[in-house]
Amino acid sequence: MQKQLGILDAASDLQAHSSTKEANRLNVAMELQADFFAGVFANQKRKVEILGYSLS
């Protein structure tokens, strides 16, 4: 999702021009955001399945 939204490319550009500490901070933020997106998807998938549909 991050790639599709352009977030991954923007973060990579920022990391390339940042200190090691800042690049690591951006990497952690990206991982947390990916976890958030995964949670949102899993929650929506669960709701759809409760209604009797399948996302497969």
Q: For the chain, what percentages of helix, strand and coil (3-state, to nearest 5) are there?
A: 80, 0, 20
Percent of the chain with pLDDT over 70: 96
**Of the given ranges (1-5, 11-15, 31-35, 48-52), which has the lowest mean pLDDT?**
48-52
Is 55 within a domain? no
Is 56 within a domain? no
Is 41 within a domain? yes
Q: How would residue 56 be classed by pLDDT, with cut points 50, 70 and 90?
A: low
Is 29 within a domain? yes
Q: Which domain holds residue 17?
A: 2-50
Task: Domain count for the chain, please give it.
Answer: 1
pLDDT (tens digit, 9 = 90+) per residue, 33-42? 999 999 999 9
Angle in degrees, 0-180, between the axes of helices 7-16 and 20-50, rounded to the nearest 10:
170
**Of the given ranges (2-6, 32-36, 51-55), which has the lowest mean pLDDT?**
51-55
Is 37 within a domain? yes
Is 33 within a domain? yes
Query: Mean pLDDT across the stretch 28-53?
Result: 92
How much is the pTM? 0.78
